[in-house]
Structure 1
Amino acid sequence: MTFTRRDFVKGVVAAGVLSKQSIASAKTVELGETWEQIRTQFPLQSTRAYLNNGTFGPSPNIVLQTIQDALLQTNTTGEYGHTTEARETLAHFVGAKPEEISLTHNTTEGINIVCWGLPLKAGDEVIISLHEHVGNALPWLNRAKLHGIVLKPVEPGYTADETLANIEKAITPKSRVLALPHITCTTGQVFPLEGIVALAKKYDLITAIDGAHGPGTLALDLPKIGVDFYCSSCHKWMLGPNGTGFLYMKEELIDYLQAYHVGAYSDAGWDLFSNPPQLEGYNPTAHRYDYASQSTPLYMGAAAAADFHEAIGKDKIESRIRELNQYLFEGLTELKKFEILTPKESSSRAGVLSFKSNTVGYSDIGKLLSQHKFRVRLVPESGLDAVRISTHIYNTKEELDGLLKVLATV
């Protein structure tokens, strides 16, 4: 399996900054055919097990090298380049058109663009869950505070069908938006996105999805799923750099969403000399929502991360993530010491598993695991007081065996 590092952005190449010779000499990385070999592509420390990918996904060497090369290129030439190629790569990664992708810095930025851009009025209802990350909760809470929209939180069920039933029960004639997570940050529960889209169509609602944990975990085709808006980050399961993300929106909804923060590349023309001065219109694509200078090196790193996934195979990665999750689920079940909060239903799980003890505090468990060189995340959100384990392709069953051995002493 071979991965070819993408060359610098096309705009810089077109400007003659990179020679054809430098393009031809682009490095290749032999990924290897086993997960152990792929693990060697990550600079992670061998002295501890990193089990917190749900917060931050460490990048493989090829991503770090791409960023370093791009930084050097921009700073030696003075040409900061463009993000056209990165946008195309990220769009392809989720099955979208480049025109449907706005480049953001993180999931929360995308959520704010959607939250404030939708034409909502006082009394309109937005359905969210009781397991929201602060990045999806605060924007909607803020708009409710300032504009009088009504939030209706729902509790996820133990199965996909129960979750859909709980969502449908919350829908009323005043409902306008389903602003839900694709995968919860608390327990890693995978919401049935296709079913949510079906509910939205049935009741004529907008779907605005917090997709922070989707891309890089699941092999996604967003247009095929039919979601309206999907906000994500590249620094979690995609294994890209911090400070990169994207917002997908259906092409036919680009004009439905109002752009409030604009700048270079947001417009379709403007004139300060006309009387009165005027903005002639907006960029006809989702590019209107990302404006002014972007970091070419960082977005090239995000594109390299997407290529890394494609080189291995998105379906293969999803299968491996689910395999490790199932292995840990079975191991924790056999210990009979903990309450597993993540659903038993396999379709409602992916790469995250949360649990708690009824006799030992979650922070004490966290300290114990830290002492044994396991990096995990504690979950005080939603009153869970739990421990969260999230695994990716760089993790091994041997690491999970070591984790279970320590947990057996709790």
Structure 2
Amino acid sequence: MAHADNLRRHFPAVRTGTYLNTGSFGALPDTTVQLMRDTLQWLLEEGRRADNYKEVLQTTHQQIREQLAHLLQVRAASIVLTDSTTHGLNIVLWGLPLQAGDEVIVTDVEHEGALLPVYVQQARRGIVVRVVDGTLPPDELCAAIDRAVTPRTRLILCSHVSYATGHRLPIEQIAKVAHARHVLVAVDGAQGMGAEPFSLAGTEIDFYAFPGHKWLCGPDGTGALYIRPDVQSMVQMTYAGSHSLAAADAYNLSGTFLASPTVQRYEHTFADLAKWVGWLESLQFLRVTVGWDYAYTRVQGLSGQLIDALLDVDHVRIATPRDRRAGLIHFQIQGMSAEQFVREAAERSLYVKAIPGRQLVRASTGFYNGDDDVERLVTLVKSSKASS
């Protein structure tokens, strides 16, 4: 436990309460916040001189791409920096040449951040949205998706890990099913990236979008999108700016321009050096100080410990399958609404989340959590029936 105790010193948020909500926001390391403060101080004192500011920002962006590429085992040139998972999915949906009558398949356990961009395509372009049951066992889910595919299906969009139920979806197999039917696949990686060992190498996943502020412990407004090299030519630019160009002067007044030869063509603005410096620091901290193998093992171990403890509580129904979990555990408390439990937990400085419309409580076990955090939650759950 020495390593775990040492790591917790760097995360003040997990020492002031029982922090079991990484699935909403990961705790920030103290080194990240200090570097962000130092960066803002530097900008205050030195000014944002165009040459210096842009050079530092470009270098930071590239180092982030390299960190993410190492983690996903892909080329850095396939990583687009975004401000969120939803931003990345919008790049995909607006970039693909979808037409009226084209179909997009989604599951019924998707986050609104993924569904709403699809619904806008339905309203603006007239696409058809088809829905399958995302809680089916892996083989049945793949079969259901295969049955839902028609000659007009263009894209399947699904979660790596469902925010709503904690299910780890068989995204690798879904991609194989999709490609066998000549359909593209986009994955919402918000609850998977950084929560379990995962490599895109060797998979047929076309698009993988994820945020920086959850399991990757970065600041708000950070994220990235992987676009498989074979399909990059299919995604048109929707937003464009100077950062999208192959060179600063790669355009003329006749309307001709030369876009970046990499996926940087989808990165259209320079913005907020402090947050990017902060995310880079968090990624380096996770890789060097924490160690990804340790982080993954810790998340998996604590989530399993929580499920095992809740199985012994008669008035609890667990919604997340033990063998298809990552870092999210969802459960229902008989006789008590999820919202009421979350409020009462917060009054005791224990932080979990209620899933709207499903009456499920969601606990996220981060690598910086301890056995005592799990025990506090289980103790409160056990006592909750008497107060309901």
User: TM-score if structure 1 supplies the norm length?
Assistant: 0.86
Tell me the equivalent position of 1:379.
355
Deviation sequence 1:107-126 (CA, Å, 0-9, x none): 11111111111111111111
Q: Cα offset for 1:404?
A: 0.8
Q: Cα offset for 1:293?
A: 1.1
Instruction: State whether residues 135 and 167 of structure 2, in contact with CA within 8 Å, keep that contact through their aligned partners in structure 1.
Output: no
Name the count of aligned residue pairs: 371
Could you tell me which amino acid in structure 2 is paired with residue 376 of structure 1? V
Tell me the equivalent position of 1:22.
none
Matched, 1:308 2:275: no
Instruction: State whether residues 156 and 162 of structure 1, in contact with CA within 8 Å, keep that contact through their aligned partners in structure 2.
Output: no
Give the one of 233, 240, 257 matched to 1:255. 233
Tell me the equivalent position of 2:337.
361
Deviates more, 1:325-334 or 1:302-311: 302-311
Matched, 1:201 2:216: no
Q: Cα offset for 1:329?
A: 0.3
Q: Cα offset for 1:214?
A: 2.0
Alpha-carbon distance between aligned partners in 1 of 2:74 and 2:11, rounded to the nearest angstrom? 28
Q: Cα offset for 1:131?
A: 1.1
Instruction: State whether residues 316 and 331 of structure 2, in contact with CA within 8 Å, keep that contact through their aligned partners in structure 1.
Output: yes
Q: Cα offset for 1:158?
A: 4.5
SS at match of 1:240: coil
Alpha-carbon distance between aligned partners in 2 of 1:376 and 1:92, rounded to the nearest angstrom? 31
Alpha-carbon distance between aligned partners in 2 of 1:91 and 1:74, rounded to the nearest angstrom? 29
Structure 1 unaligned segments of length 5 or more: list them. 1-31
Tell me the equivalent position of 1:232.
210
Could you tell me which amino acid in structure 2 is paired with residue 102 of structure 1? V
Matched, 1:112 2:81: no
Tell me the equivalent position of 1:50.
19
Could you tell me which amino acid in structure 2 is paired with residue 266 of structure 1? S
Tell me the equivalent position of 2:372.
398
Give the one of 170, 175, 193 matched to 2:148. 170
Tell me the equivalent position of 1:285.
262
Tell me the equivalent position of 2:132.
154
Q: Cα offset for 1:162?
A: 2.8
Matched, 1:91 2:69: yes
* C-alpha distance 75-223 of structure 1, shift in aligned 2 (>3 A): farther
* C-alpha distance 294-97 of structure 1, shift in aligned 2 (>3 A): farther
Give the RMSD, CA atoms, in angstroms. 1.7
Deviation sequence 1:238-272 (CA, Å, 0-9, x none): 00111111111112322210111100121242101
Tell me the equivalent position of 1:270.
251
Alpha-carbon distance between aligned partners in 1 of 2:281 and 2:197, rounded to the nearest angstrom? 17
Tell me the equivalent position of 2:314.
336
Matched, 1:352 2:328: yes
Deviation sequence 1:93-112 (CA, Å, 0-9, x none): 32222211111111111111
Matched, 1:298 2:292: no
Following TM superposition, the consecutive aligned residue runs of length 4 or more in structure 1 with deviations greater than 4 angstroms are none
Deviation sequence 1:190-242 (CA, Å, 0-9, x none): 11121112112211111111111222112222233231111110000000111
SS at match of 2:243: coil
Q: Cα offset for 1:33?
A: 5.0
Alpha-carbon distance between aligned partners in 1 of 2:270 and 2:73, rounded to the nearest angstrom? 25
* C-alpha distance 153-122 of structure 1, shift in aligned 2 (>3 A): same
Alpha-carbon distance between aligned partners in 2 of 1:174 and 1:214, rounded to the nearest angstrom? 29
Give the one of 284, 291, 295 matched to 1:317. 295
Give the one of 111, 114, 117 matched to 1:136. 114
Alpha-carbon distance between aligned partners in 2 of 1:307 and 1:172, rounded to the nearest angstrom? 44
Alpha-carbon distance between aligned partners in 2 of 1:313 and 1:408, rounded to the nearest angstrom? 34
Instruction: State whether residues 14 and 369 of structure 2, in contact with CA within 8 Å, keep that contact through their aligned partners in structure 1.
Output: no
SS at match of 1:65: helix
Q: Cα offset for 1:64?
A: 1.5
Alpha-carbon distance between aligned partners in 2 of 1:36 and 1:59, rounded to the nearest angstrom? 16
Deviates more, 1:188-197 or 1:293-302: 293-302
Alpha-carbon distance between aligned partners in 2 of 1:368 and 1:33, rounded to the nearest angstrom? 32
Instruction: State whether residues 93 and 306 of structure 1, in contact with CA within 8 Å, keep that contact through their aligned partners in structure 2.
Output: no
Task: Give 1:22-61 correspondences, 5 Å limit.
Answer: 34-44=3-13, 46-61=15-30
SS at match of 1:35: helix
Identity of aligned residues (%): 32
Alpha-carbon distance between aligned partners in 2 of 1:339 and 1:45, rounded to the nearest angstrom? 27
Alpha-carbon distance between aligned partners in 2 of 1:387 and 1:103, rounded to the nearest angstrom? 32
Could you tell me which amino acid in structure 1 is paired with residue 40 of structure 2? L
Structure 2 unaligned segments of length 5 or more: list them. none
Instruction: State whether residues 267 and 279 of structure 1, in contact with CA within 8 Å, keep that contact through their aligned partners in structure 2.
Output: no
SS at match of 1:259: coil
Matched, 1:73 2:49: no
Deviation sequence 1:150-183 (CA, Å, 0-9, x none): 1111112343223222222222222111111111
SS at match of 2:367: coil
Matched, 1:214 2:195: no
